[in-house]
Homo-oligomer: A and B are copies of this chain.
Amino acid sequence: MPSNETRDTVLDVAQELLQTRGFNAFSFHDVAERVKIKTASIHYYFPTKIDLCLALIARQRDEVKAALDRIDAEVHEPTKKLARYVTLFRSTLEMGNRMCLCGMLAADFETLDPLVAEKLRLSFEDHEIWLKRVFMEGKRIGKLDFAGSPRNEARLLLSCLEGAMLVARTFEDLSRFDSSARSLLSRLRPRPNP
């Protein structure tokens, strides 16, 4: 496995800046300063800011895939999978009040390179596909109850978590995220049959 320390550090720092400030509010200089290199060195690894952004999305997609695989391997009850899924978002917020990478790029959507926009959509779809599977299985075995299609339910949960992060950030208040997340999950509990 090709390990490149500087490159990874650049990605880490750029990601933090992207998630807190947005794509258009951080510069190569911001990154270079924190990594303690010069901006020219960043261009060596990532010729353009778009390349840097694409690398961030690609790495993130891999990490999300790994995280979802881990959830699948470790818990089997759909309710518990969703609870674990929610913690992915929560821990991002905990880490310096960061926004979700995809959510932040969604806000910057209009200014994105078309290729970046396409990868962003694919990232969202990664989430939706996994969630849809969880919802389908949950309904099948009677552990989750909802009215619409699994696909729409997946989209709804993802959207709501993005929004909960967005607003919680503004108040720098994790409990806002928590109470929304709790409601979102509890409404999926099947009621005891009359």
Contact = CB atoms under 8 A, between A and B. Distances in A.
Interface stretch (A38-46, A135-143, A169-177): A169-177
Contacts of A179: 148, 152, 155-156
A167 B124 CA distance: 8
A135 to B, nearest CB: 12
Contact of A180 (B24, B156, B168): B156
By DSSP majority rule, is chain A's interface helix, strand, loop, or mixed? helix
A59 to B, nearest CB: 19
A114 to B, nearest CB: 12
A155 B176 contact: yes
12 contacts: A20-B110, A22-B22, A22-B111, A109-B169, A148-B179, A148-B183, A152-B180, A153-B183, A155-B180, A156-B160, A161-B163, A162-B166
Copies of this chain held together in the complex: 2
Given A103-B166, A159-B160, A183-B156, A25 B108 contact: yes
A193 B171 CA distance: 39
A110 to B, nearest CB: 5
Contact of A22 (B107, B124, B184, B194): B107
